């Protein structure tokens, strides 16, 4: 959430005979001696937003104070595959799911570095230790990273427009196990079976010297549906003309590193808590007193939500101790909109002179509730719900 509290610039500190600026239009604060004219003013006290940080992330604490919770949604991860003679369960593989989170309203998919490491013992069931003609071995493996699919937030797709996926191969064998075109790597979108990237070995894989392949999504954006599947095929044929030393404990290692993938749009289903951090309003008390002294008639705080997301938000407004709201006044349903046609929801609250004084000098605004989608919807991640709090009142001004 970005705090855009411009009250300090719109309500300027003033001495007697000073100036009150309302959205850039100066209004002279009159003396008591001149004729008076009642004029209506709408004074913006606070602007803030509800963005992707609030909509996507889990709250650090639940809205009722029940305790801390995880801040990100995590998907699953699995390795599967086969080798010449069967892929042994003793192959070492790390499995970490993809996280879907937002920081400073930038939505990213994060995956921790993952590694698959197999020895010749696993890759070549028929191999024996010692000097011999180069044996045949193969590995056909798949690593799957699933996007989160949880009760409160299910991510069905993500339009990735930044970040990289890097796959590295390395080994510590006593011979060159792989030559050109003996390795094929492909990255697929799970749900729609679209190939996102493909690489092949273009050189010999020398021991101790990793070979890396990178796909840059900023250069080649792609939509990930359901998750990502990484397919690696290693096919090293026998070579009876070359004698090598086989150590069955030597290994071939495949490492995958995913730099934070930035998401410009996401297809989600959601039914989760949302909360906006409290924002304070603190204006010069002398200036506010001059305003209050010239108020005529009803005073209304208007809380406006402009929603560009196709989700509904049902929640409660809190204005702190300055304005004691009834349950009906606290409750609000923010209607869904779209990026092209945001929808405005207004919540008016009538207050007293004393509450106006307290609100503009020591007011607090906070919001908490739940956000719902009607099935799967697409969120543009650079959008945000604009929240504007204004005071609608009539001021008595002087005439000449």
Phi, psi for residue 58 in degrees, rounded to 5: -80, 150
Structure tokens at 289: 């007193």
Q: What is the C-alpha R_g of the chain?
A: 31
- The pLDDT of residue 163 is 93
Are 110 and 101 a contacting pair, CB within 8 Å? yes
Are 115 and 171 a contacting pair, CB within 8 Å? no
Of 22 and 272, the structure prediction assigns the larger pLDDT to 272
Distance CA 231, CA 201 (A): 14
- The pLDDT of residue 305 is 98
Q: Is the confidence at residue 62, as pLDDT, over 50? A: no
Structure tokens at 348: 């008016």
Of 28 and 106, the structure prediction assigns the larger pLDDT to 106
How confident is the model over 231-256, as pLDDT tens digits? 888 888 888 998 999 999 999 888 88
Banded model confidence at residue 75, pLDDT cuts 50, 70, 90: low
How confident is the model over 183-207, as pLDDT tens digits? 888 888 988 889 988 888 777 788 8
Query: Across residues 58-84, what is the average pLDDT?
Result: 49
Are 172 and 265 a contacting pair, CB within 8 Å? no
Banded model confidence at residue 159, pLDDT cuts 50, 70, 90: very high
Q: Is the confidence at residue 358, as pLDDT, over 60? A: yes
How confident is the model over 95-145, as pLDDT tens digits? 566 778 888 889 988 877 788 888 888 888 788 899 999 888 888 888 888
Q: Is the confidence at residue 302, as pLDDT, over 60? A: yes
Query: Across residues 27-47, what is the average pLDDT?
Result: 69
Q: Is the confidence at residue 26, as pLDDT, over 90? A: no
- The pLDDT of residue 33 is 55
Query: Across residues 164-170, what is the average pLDDT?
Result: 89
- The pLDDT of residue 209 is 81
Q: What is the H or E stretch that residue 270 is in?
A: strand 251-281
pLDDT above 70 coverage of the chain, percent: 80
Query: Across residues 154-175, what is the average pLDDT?
Result: 90
- The pLDDT of residue 390 is 95
Q: Is the confidence at residue 223, as pLDDT, over 60? A: yes
Residue in 222, 329, 204, 273 with CA at minimum distance from that of residue 60: 273
Of 49 and 9, the structure prediction assigns the larger pLDDT to 49
Domain residue ranges of the chain, discontinuous segments joined by +: 7-51+282-398, 73-267
Number of H helices, E strands in the chain: 6, 26
Q: Is the confidence at residue 14, as pLDDT, over 70? A: no
Distance CA 331, CA 311 (A): 17
Instruction: Give the rounded distance of the alpha carbon of 280 from its chain centre.
Output: 25
């Amino acid at each position: 959430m970005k705090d855009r509290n411009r009250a300090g610039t719109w309500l300027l500190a003033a001495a007697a005979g000073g100036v009150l600026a309302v959205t850039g239009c100066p209004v002279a604060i009159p003396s008591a001696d001149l004729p008076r004219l009642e004029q209506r003013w709408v004074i913006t006290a606070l602007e803030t937003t509800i963005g992707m940080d609030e909509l996507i992330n889990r709250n650090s604490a639940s809205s009722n104070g029940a305790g801390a919770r995880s801040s990100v949604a995590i998907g699953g991860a699995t390795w599967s595959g086969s080798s010449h003679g069967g892929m042994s369960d003793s192959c070492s593989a790390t499995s970490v799911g993809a996280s879907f989170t937002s920081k400073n309203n930038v939505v990213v998919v994060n995956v921790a570095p993952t590694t698959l490491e197999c020895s010749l013992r696993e890759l070549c069931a028929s191999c024996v230790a010692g000097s011999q003609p180069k044996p045949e071995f193969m590995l056909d493996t798949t690593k799957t990273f699933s996007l989160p699919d949880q009760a409160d937030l299910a991510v069905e797709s993500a339009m990735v427009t930044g970040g990289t996926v890097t796959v590295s191969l390395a080994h510590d064998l006593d011979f060159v196990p792989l030559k050109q075109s003996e390795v094929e790597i492909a990255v697929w979108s799970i749900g729609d079976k679209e190939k996102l990237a493909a690489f092949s070995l273009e050189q010999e894989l020398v021991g101790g010297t990793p070979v890396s392949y990178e796909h840059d999504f900023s250069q080649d954006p792609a939509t990930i549906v359901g998750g990502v599947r990484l397919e690696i095929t290693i096919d090293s044929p026998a070579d009876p003309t070359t004698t090598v030393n086989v150590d069955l404990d030597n290994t071939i290692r495949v490492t995958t590193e995913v730099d934070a993938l930035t998401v410009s749009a996401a297809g989600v289903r959601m039914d989760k808590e949302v909360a906006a951090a409290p924002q304070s309003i603190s204006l010069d008390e002398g200036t506010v007193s001059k305003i209050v002294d010239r108020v005529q008639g009803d005073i209304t705080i208007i809380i406006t939500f402009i929603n560009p997301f196709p989700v509904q938000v049902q929640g409660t407004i809190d204005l702190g101790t300055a304005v004691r709201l009834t349950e009906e006044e606290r409750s609000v349903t923010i209607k869904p909109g779209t990026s092209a046609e945001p929808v405005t929801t207004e919540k008016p609250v009538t207050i007293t002179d004393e509450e106006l004084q307290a609100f503009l000098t020591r007011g607090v605004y906070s919001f908490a509730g739940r956000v719902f989608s009607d099935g799967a919807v697409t969120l543009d991640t650079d959008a945000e719900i604009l929240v504007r709090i204004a005071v609608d009142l009539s001021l008595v001004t002087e005439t000449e």
